[in-house]
Structure 1
Amino acid sequence: MVAIRSILALMIAAMASAAYAAPPGDATEAALDHCLALPANASTAGQVECEQAAAKAYDRRMNASYTTLMRRLPPSAKGQLQRSQRAWLVYRDSEFNAQGGIYATRQGTMYVPMQADSAATLTRDRARLLESYVRVMSIE
């Protein structure tokens, strides 16, 4: 019985981490990598523009997944998702402020694209999580 529970726990953990991982061929990530590799974007400003474009793309993906979920979920789950998303938005804004405070203590232009990457990563992770929920809702 203990062995079965252990195996079940491992399977659930593996499925959760697989669902949260980058989808194979993540177009936004590929576009970001391509953008950052262009010689024209070797500057701080170019790198920041690439990160901001990725953040906007992840935001669109997050919103599309949220909309899809709100259409598919029953009322009780819709309310839970809505509260979760609102709480995440508060967290995101608070984290942006904290990141700004942390990076403001650093000297040098290399920290500017690092901050842009940190900001994009927050939205990327939420987008991927909501996309994983959409995949779960697609299982029959």
Structure 2
Amino acid sequence: MLLPILLLFTHLITPNELLNAPNTWQILTEKPNHPIEQWTRHCTAKEYSNQALMHCYQQAYDKWDQELNQIYHQLRLQLDTTGQNKLRQAQRRWLAYRDSEFDLVKHLYGHLEGSMWSLIIVITKMDIVKQRALELDDYLTTLQFEKLSQ
């Protein structure tokens, strides 16, 4: 995901060109029709300043974080006690991973000059949380499908 962002900031591609390129979002995301993805595309399509884009991506991060928490609780309800314990343990480990990644990203990019690096930090954090939300959603979808097919 970093390459298209860098192309955008080096003015080799405009935001609209990035958003409208064939299959760009399908390549960059696993679920381009997810409501949060649609919201993010809409928000970033009309914004051009780093500050405005930062606001869009920070809101998208917040939305993915809420989505992650909702899916986690829905998934938990589908599991037996053993499954709930395993999910809780996995989520705690993922939270430690997330926090470590956030620290690393901040260390790598936080000292670099230019507002684009702050934006890249926010986008990277959003992607980390989004990926976990989509993973848990896949687990939930699989369990729900299995229950329907029984």
1:117 equivalenced with 2:117 (yes/no):
no
**Does the 8 A contact of 2:65 with 2:130 survive in 1?**
yes
Secondary structure of the residue aligned to 2:33 is coil
1:69 equivalenced with 2:72 (yes/no):
no
Runs of 4+ in 1 over 4 A off after TM superposition: none
What's the CA shift string for 1:7-39, capped at 9, x where partnerless?
xxxxxxxxxxxxxx733511111111111111x
Q: Which has the higher contact order (CA 8 A, sep 6+)?
A: 1
Size of the aligned set, in residue pairs, is 118
In 1: Cα distance, 2:120 partner to 2:73 partner: 30
1:103 equivalenced with 2:80 (yes/no):
no
In 2: Cα distance, 1:62 partner to 1:22 partner: 15
Going from structure 1 to structure 2, the CA distance change for 1:61 and 1:25 (only over 3 Å counts) comes to: same
**Does the 8 A contact of 2:36 with 2:64 survive in 1?**
yes
Larger-Rg structure: 1
Q: CA RMSD in A?
A: 1.3
2:50 alignment partner in structure 1? 44
In 1: Cα distance, 2:60 partner to 2:40 partner: 6
In 2: Cα distance, 1:74 partner to 1:102 partner: 41
Q: Which runs of 5+ in 1 are unaligned?
A: 1-20
In 2: Cα distance, 1:32 partner to 1:123 partner: 14
**Does the 8 A contact of 2:54 with 2:122 survive in 1?**
yes
Task: Report the AA paired with residue 71 of structure 1.
Answer: L
Identity %: 27
1:5 alignment partner in structure 2? none
**Does the 8 A contact of 2:58 with 2:126 survive in 1?**
yes
What's the CA shift string for 1:43-63, capped at 9, x where partnerless?
111111111111111111111
Q: Which runs of 5+ in 2 are unaligned?
A: 1-28
Going from structure 1 to structure 2, the CA distance change for 1:73 and 1:27 (only over 3 Å counts) comes to: same
2:21 alignment partner in structure 1? none
In 2: Cα distance, 1:104 partner to 1:52 partner: 16
How does the TM-score come out when normalised to structure 1?
Answer: 0.79
In 2: Cα distance, 1:65 partner to 1:104 partner: 31
How does the TM-score come out when normalised to structure 2?
Answer: 0.74
Secondary structure of the residue aligned to 1:138 is helix
